Amino acid sequence: MPRWFGTDGIRGRVGEPQLAPDFVVRVGFAAGRVLARAHAGSRRPTVVIGKDTRVSGYFLEAALQAGFTAAGVDVLLTGPLPTPGVAYLTRALRLDAGVVVSASHNPYQDNGIKLFSAAGDKLSDAVEAAIEEELEKTPAVVSAEQLGKARRVVDAVGRYIEFCKATFPGELSLDGVRLVVDAANGAAYQAAPAVFHELGATVTAVGVEPNGFNINEGVGAVFPQCVAAAVARSGADYGIALDGDGDRVVMVDRNGRIFDGDALLYAIVRDRFMRGEAIDGVVGTVMTNGGLEVALSRLGIRLERTAVGDRYVGERLRQLGWRYGGEGSGHLLCLDLHTTGDGIVSALQVLAALIRHETTLAEWVADLVFFPQVVVNVPWPRGVDWRAEPVLAREVAEVERSLAGVGRVLVRPSGTEPKLRIMVEGRDEETVRAAADRLQKAAQRAEQVA
């Protein structure tokens, strides 16, 4: 089992051991040594480091830079840039790895480190294991003539804006479309409004005044009520809400209806299907609503599920040679356009579908009927197996028996926070809510003795 890496890199509260300055230097050094070994005797490796708008990004960026350069790796710095922007630059500039300093949708007190391969996708488990192995060794700085150098990337945001715009069909335009774009006071605060504006939309921007402490604070994909209220005030057609690092998206229509990742994935896939594209299947996760599976099956498209995490969705898509997948949280992958989830690119694909078919989002996904699903989060110690707690294990087993054939239960530890996530899904909403409440109380009791 990995000691430091979770489902989305290394993450935690600033100041905890995994995000202390000395350890972050070691992370950069360890990752640099792994890269250097891969290119031994050929050339000096180069990585790009981007970040979101958290105040802690300053020292974490500097610590990583110190570690990489001490290992003999050159570093390019972008400043605030969405996670998918870093993935794009890694591939476009033919670099050896990309690094993002971000805790995505978490509050500003948290931060994290995510790494991308040269291909612009999440690192494999094997590479992460190699980095963890290197972390156990005593760092040995390379000789002075082998030290890496660091420099800023010129117009990183502008390059990413042009990439996003290029994913929107050239024969279409956003002229006449009124949008509210909520960048969550995060990494996309510069890029997101510009992309939609430059494609012709009338844009009202919110969540674009980061101060180091307000990322995801009552704004963005985690709080879609904010963009919904802005849509109502401005009379916009749609609201687009991103998360702190710009790889998630949630949309809202003029009636205040919120469309999550499952609905947006269906909107994109249905458009591709209606235009004659052969789609063998779509990859979701164990959390993907059963209603999406039913709607896709009507199109003759099967749904395959993975563990929670867009990295697992991406890995399975590549294994199967498929193109589309995602999570209800808003991580959507269109591998025909990008190597990783991208909130801006995903929103553009949804808008292109609606313009092309001259319809609304509500009409376009009208045949997608979600099963009632309730997700509750309970504080839970890291590393404690909930199945070893008899009170909770017994309650889960009894609820599963009661829902047999008409619903399902999923209990899993969060990969990014010290929480236990409990999901109950079924055909009857009252039954689902009662079951979720029962399991939440059982988990709270178990947590007190865990």
Contact 105, 415 (CB under 8 A): no
* pLDDT score of 123: 85
- pTM of the shown model: 0.91
Mean pLDDT over each residue of the chain, to the nearest integer: 94
Q: What gap in Å lies between CA 360 and CA 295, rounded to an integer?
A: 18
- Residues in contact with 184: Cβ distance below 8 Å, sequence separation at least 6, in sequence order: 105, 207, 215, 216, 219, 220, 221, 222, 241, 242, 243, 244
Q: Which position has the token pair 């870093």?
A: 86
* pLDDT score of 405: 81
* Number of other CB atoms surrounding residue 162 within 10 Å: 12
* pLDDT score of 447: 82
**Residue at 3 is within a domain:** no
If asked whether residues 144 and 184 sit together in one domain, one would say no
| Domain extent at residue 295 | 259-364
Q: Which position has the token pair 């979720």?
A: 436
Task: Give the pLDDT mean for 182-209.
Answer: 98
Check if 297 is active-site.
Answer: no
If asked whether residues 295 and 203 sit together in one domain, one would say no
Per-residue pLDDT reduced to its tens digit, 217-264: 999 999 999 999 999 999 999 999 999 999 999 999 999 999 999 999
> Pick from 222, 257, 292: which residue ends a domain?
257
If asked whether residues 233 and 346 sit together in one domain, one would say no
**Residue at 185 is within a domain:** yes
pLDDT level of residue 337 (50, 70, 90 thresholds)? very high
pLDDT level of residue 2 (50, 70, 90 thresholds)? low
Q: What gap in Å lies between CA 163 and CA 288, rounded to an integer?
A: 29
| CATH number, position 430 | 3.30.310.50
Task: Give the pLDDT mean for 21-47.
Answer: 90
- Residues in contact with 309: Cβ distance below 8 Å, sequence separation at least 6, in sequence order: 7, 8, 285, 327, 415
If asked whether residues 211 and 284 sit together in one domain, one would say no
**Residue at 4 is within a domain:** no
If asked whether residues 113 and 175 sit together in one domain, one would say no
- pLDDT over 70 at 41, yes or no: no
If asked whether residues 56 and 175 sit together in one domain, one would say no
* Number of other CB atoms surrounding residue 345 within 10 Å: 26
Task: Give the pLDDT mean for 425-445.
Answer: 93
> Pick from 155, 189, 208: which residue ends a domain?
155
3-state percent helix, strand, coil for the chain, nearest multiple of 5? 40, 20, 40
If asked whether residues 231 and 298 sit together in one domain, one would say no
If asked whether residues 15 and 151 sit together in one domain, one would say yes
In order of 73, 244, 409, 433, the CA distances from 39 in angstroms are: 11, 34, 46, 54
User: Range with the lowest mean pLDDT among 171-180, 185-194, 280-289, 409-418?
Assistant: 409-418
Q: Which position has the token pair 């997101």?
A: 192
- pLDDT over 80 at 427, yes or no: yes
71/1: higher pLDDT: 71
* pLDDT score of 126: 87
If asked whether residues 246 and 142 sit together in one domain, one would say no
Residue in 186, 230, 236 with CA at minimum distance from that of residue 212 = 186
**Residue at 5 is within a domain:** no
Task: Give the pLDDT mean for 59-70.
Answer: 98
* pLDDT score of 39: 75
Per-residue pLDDT reduced to its tens digit, 252-304: 999 999 999 999 999 999 999 999 999 999 999 999 999 999 999 999 999 99
Contact 436, 411 (CB under 8 A): no
- pLDDT over 70 at 1, yes or no: no
Contact 288, 327 (CB under 8 A): yes
If asked whether residues 297 and 251 sit together in one domain, one would say no
If asked whether residues 263 and 179 sit together in one domain, one would say no
Say which amino acid occupies 85.
G
* pLDDT score of 122: 86
In order of 176, 288, 424, 431, 437, the CA distances from 371 in angstroms are: 35, 10, 10, 12, 17
- pLDDT over 80 at 159, yes or no: yes
Query: How many domains in the chain?
Result: 4
* pLDDT score of 450: 64
Residue 422 forms beta bridges with which residues?
376, 411
| CATH number, position 128 | 3.40.120.10
* pLDDT score of 152: 97
* pLDDT score of 135: 93
If asked whether residues 130 and 169 sit together in one domain, one would say no
pLDDT level of residue 6 (50, 70, 90 thresholds)? confident
- Please state whether beta strands 97-101 and 178-182 pair in parallel, antiparallel, or not at all (unpaired): unpaired
- Please state whether beta strands 178-182 and 238-242 pair in parallel, antiparallel, or not at all (unpaired): parallel
* pLDDT score of 260: 97
* pLDDT score of 209: 98
Task: Give the pLDDT mean for 349-361.
Answer: 98
Task: Give the pLDDT mean for 55-77.
Answer: 97
Q: Which position has the token pair 């290394």?
A: 10
**Residue at 1 is within a domain:** no
Residue in 117, 100, 5, 33 with CA at minimum distance from that of residue 60 = 100
**Residue at 71 is within a domain:** yes
Task: Give the pLDDT mean for 320-342.
Answer: 97
Catalytic residue among 42, 56, 102, 104: 104
* pLDDT score of 182: 98
- Residues in contact with 152: Cβ distance below 8 Å, sequence separation at least 6, in sequence order: 76, 77, 78, 79
* pLDDT score of 406: 85
- pLDDT over 90 at 404, yes or no: no
Q: Which position has the token pair 């995801």?
A: 216
**Residue at 149 is within a domain:** yes
> Pick from 97, 126, 155: which residue ends a domain?
155
DSSP for 242-270 reads E-TTS-BEEEEETT--EE-HHHHHHHHHH
Region of 172 on the Ramachandran plot (φ > 0 left; ψ -120 to 50 alpha; else beta): beta
Question: Is residue 172 exposed (0-12), middle (13-18) or buried (19+ Cβ within 10 Å)?
Answer: middle
